[in-house]
A and B are shown apart, each in its own frame.
Chain A
C-alpha cells in the first residue's frame, strides 16, 4: 500500500519532528511549507493522507481542502492547527477535511488518527490489526485473543487499540486520557484514574494471554511491548 504522507506545515522544526516521527513509523513523509509548494506536490501525486496546517504564510490552508478533494477524491485530509476546534473544526470538516487535530497534539494521537483515517478510507486494507495472538477487527470493534472472542468495554477497546497502534512507544497518562476520554488533561486531574483503567486492561490481557504486555515506564507512562 501507498504509505506516502504529505505534510504542509510552515514551522520547520515542527515539520521535521513530525516527519521524523512518521518516517520512523513506516510512512514516507513529504514536506511542504507553503500552500503553493503543497499544490505542486498534490497536483501530480496521490497521497492517501495529507496533513494540513491552516495558518500558512501564503494563505489559509482551508482553501486547499476543496482543491485537493477535486483532484483526489480518496485523499484524506487531517487539519493540524493551533486554531481551536470550537469554531474552525466545523468549517474544516464542512469543507471536506476528514479530521482535525489541535496543536499541541501528541504524536501518538496523530499516528492513531492517521491509521483510523486510512482504515476508514481504504476499508479493505488493515482493518484487522494483529499483535501477538491478539486480533482486533476494527470494522465491528471486536477483539479475538488466541482465536476466541473476548468482551471489551468501549473504553477498554479504545485503550487497547491505541496501545497496539503505538506499540513499543511510550504513551503518557495525559495522551491516554485525552485519546480515550477526550478531555483536556489540564482541566481534569487524572493521574490515579488512568492507573485504575490501565490496570484493569492489563489484568484482562494477562488473564487471556498469560503475558503482561503493558509495562509501566517509570516517570513517563506506559508502553506496550513484547518482552
Chain B
C-alpha cells in the first residue's frame, strides 16, 4: 500500500470514530445548554405573568404556553422544570414542550403559573448537528487529502526519483549509483547507506567475477598438462586393457572439465558485458551457415534439417553471441534427436524455433536452462550448453518457450525488438 493511501485510510477510519463521538457529545452538550437557556426564559415569563396578575388580578390563559391556576395553600410546591409532550389537534401529533411550573402568592391568593415553550424534535436536532459536523469533517478531510498530496510531491519527489534510479541500477551496467540529494536528513541517511552498500557489493561482485575468470584460466594449464601426458601414454605399446580404459577415461574427463570451465568462463564474460558489439543479423543466414557446417555430422546420423523462413527474423545482437546461441541450440537438437529424423527450424518475422523428435516431454522444463541440470545420462553432456543459451537470451531480453507436441521438443525464441 502506498504511504499516502495508508495515511488517508487511517485518517478516514479514525475520522469516523472522532466524528461519532463528537456528534454525541455536541448533541448532548447543546441540548443541556439550550434547556438551561429555555428554563431561564420560562422563569422570566412566569415572573412577567405574575406581575400581570398582580396588576389586573386576572390573567387570560394562553393554552398551552401560559397558564395561571388558582390553588389552595396546601398545594403550593417548589418551582420545577420538566420535559413533556402535549397533544396538538392541528397536526394530530404529540409535540415536545419544556414546562416550568412555579407557585406565587399574590394579593393573598395562591397561584400556580405554568409556562411552556415548544422544543425542536430530537430527530431534527440530531440530523441538523450530524449534517453540520459531517460537512465540517468532510471539508477537513478533503483539505488534508489535498495537503498530503501536495506534500507528497514536495517531500517524496526526489525520494521517488531515487527509487527509480535504484530500480534501474544493476551491477552489470557500468553506471555507478548516483542518488540525488533530497535535503531531508532521514532520506539522505538512507541514500548514504544504500550508496555505501552498493559500492561494497559492486566491489565484491567484481572481485568474485575476476576470481572465477582467473580460476577458469588457471585451470586450463593443468588440464593441458593432463591431456598432453595422456597423449604421450597413448603411444606406449605395452599397456593392458585396464590401463587403456583408465587413461581413456582420464582423457575424456579432462575434455569435459575443460568444456565446463570454458562454458562457465563464457557465462561470466557475457555478464561482464564483453560481447557488446551490436549489429543487425539475419537469423536465416546464420542458421543456414551453421547447418551447412554440420553437413557431415548430419549425414552421418541420417538427420536432415529443414529450415523454413516465411520471413527473415532480424535481430540486433553481438555476432559472436548470436552464433553461440545458434551453435548451442542446434547442437542440443542434434545430440538429442533420434537418428533418421528431421530437425525443424522455423523462422518468422518476430520469432524463431527449433524442434527435434523425442519420446517424452522434458520433466522439468524450467530447470533445463540451469547450469549443470541434466535430464539425459549422456556422459558427454556438460549441462552448460543450454545455460549459455539462456544467458544470451536474457542478455537481449529474448523470451524462450518450451513445448512438447506430437513427439517433438520445440524451443521457441521471441526476440525483444522484433
Flag if B225 contacts A221 (CB, 8 Å). no
Q: Which of A18, A175, A186, A217 is close to B380, meaning CB atoms less than 8 Å apart?
A: A186
Flag if B231 contacts A83 (CB, 8 Å). no
A217 proximity list for chain B (CB < 8 A): 234
| Contact status of A187 and B234, CB under 8 A, knowing A104-B254, A155-B296, A219-B241 | no
30 contacts between A and B (CB under 8 A): A17-B225, A55-B217, A82-B218, A82-B221, A82-B224, A84-B265, A84-B266, A86-B266, A102-B220, A103-B220, A103-B221, A104-B225, A104-B227, A105-B224, A105-B227, A107-B228, A107-B231, A170-B234, A172-B231, A174-B252, A181-B297, A184-B259, A187-B385, A188-B297, A196-B300, A218-B244, A219-B241, A219-B245, A219-B247, A220-B244
Counted as pairs of residues, one from A and one from B, with CB atoms less than 8 Å apart, the total is 119
B232 proximity list for chain A (CB < 8 A): 17, 20-21, 107
B228 proximity list for chain A (CB < 8 A): 14, 17-18, 21, 104, 106-107
| Contact status of A219 and B296, CB under 8 A, knowing A84-B265, A84-B266 | no
Main secondary structure of the interface of B (DSSP, over half): helix
Q: Which of A83, A108, A220 is close to B217, meaning CB atoms less than 8 Å apart?
A: A83
Is A141 engaged at the interface, CB distance under 8 Å to the other chain?
Answer: no
Flag if B225 contacts A13 (CB, 8 Å). yes
Is B170 engaged at the interface, CB distance under 8 Å to the other chain?
Answer: no
Flag if A187 contacts B259 (CB, 8 Å). yes
Is A132 engaged at the interface, CB distance under 8 Å to the other chain?
Answer: no
Q: Which of A83, A84, A186 is close to B382, meaning CB atoms less than 8 Å apart?
A: A186
B300 proximity list for chain A (CB < 8 A): 192-193, 196-197
Considering the chains assembled together, what is the distance between the CA atoms of A86 and B382 in angstroms?
20
Is A189 engaged at the interface, CB distance under 8 Å to the other chain?
Answer: yes
- 8 Å CB contacts to A: which residues of B238-281? 241, 244-245, 247-248, 251-252, 254-256, 258-260, 262, 265-266, 269, 274-275
| Contact status of A186 and B225, CB under 8 A, knowing A217-B234, A219-B244 | no
B224 proximity list for chain A (CB < 8 A): 14, 82, 103-105
Is B95 engaged at the interface, CB distance under 8 Å to the other chain?
Answer: no
Chain B CB within 10 A, most for which of A14, A82, A197: A82
Flag if A14 contacts B225 (CB, 8 Å). yes
Is B229 engaged at the interface, CB distance under 8 Å to the other chain?
Answer: yes
Flag if B255 contacts A170 (CB, 8 Å). no
Is A11 engaged at the interface, CB distance under 8 Å to the other chain?
Answer: yes
B252 proximity list for chain A (CB < 8 A): 174
Q: Which of B256, B269, B385 is close to A87, meaning CB atoms less than 8 Å apart?
A: B269
Considering the chains assembled together, what is the distance between the CA atoms of A170 and B275 in angstroms?
38
A185 proximity list for chain B (CB < 8 A): 255
- 8 Å CB contacts to B: which residues of A182-227? 184-190, 192-193, 196-197, 217-221
| Contact status of A104 and B231, CB under 8 A, knowing A86-B320, A187-B331 | no
> How many B residues face the partner with a CB closer than 8 A?
51
Considering the chains assembled together, what is the distance between the CA atoms of A48 and B228 in angstroms?
23
Flag if A188 contacts B296 (CB, 8 Å). no
B173 proximity list for chain A (CB < 8 A): none
A55 proximity list for chain B (CB < 8 A): 217
A14 proximity list for chain B (CB < 8 A): 221, 224-225, 228
Is A36 engaged at the interface, CB distance under 8 Å to the other chain?
Answer: no
Considering the chains assembled together, what is the distance between the CA atoms of A146 and B413 in angstroms?
55
**CB 8 Å contact bits of A130-170 with B (1 = contact, 0 = none):** 00000000000000000000000001000000000000111
B245 proximity list for chain A (CB < 8 A): 219
Q: Which of A84, A172, A188 is close to B251, meaning CB atoms less than 8 Å apart?
A: A172
A172 proximity list for chain B (CB < 8 A): 231, 234, 251
B320 proximity list for chain A (CB < 8 A): 86
Flag if B297 contacts A190 (CB, 8 Å). yes
Considering the chains assembled together, what is the distance between the CA atoms of A189 and B377 in angstroms?
13
Considering the chains assembled together, what is the distance between the CA atoms of A4 and B223 in angstroms?
26
Size category of the binding interface on chain A: 35 or more
Chain B CB within 10 A, most for which of A83, A84, A174, A197: A84
Closest residue of chain A to B256 (Cβ to Cβ) is A186
Flag if A170 contacts B225 (CB, 8 Å). no
Chain B CB within 10 A, most for which of A170, A189, A193, A217: A189
Is B310 engaged at the interface, CB distance under 8 Å to the other chain?
Answer: no
A181 proximity list for chain B (CB < 8 A): 296-297
Is B335 engaged at the interface, CB distance under 8 Å to the other chain?
Answer: yes
Closest residue of chain B to A87 (Cβ to Cβ) is B274
**CB 8 Å contact bits of B362-401 with A (1 = contact, 0 = none):** 0000000000000000101010010000000000000000
A18 proximity list for chain B (CB < 8 A): 228
Considering the chains assembled together, what is the distance between the CA atoms of A196 and B300 in angstroms?
8
| Contact status of A82 and B274, CB under 8 A, knowing A169-B235, A187-B331, A193-B297 | no
Considering the chains assembled together, what is the distance between the CA atoms of A188 and B385 in angstroms?
11
Chain A nearest CB, measured from B296 CB (Å)? 6
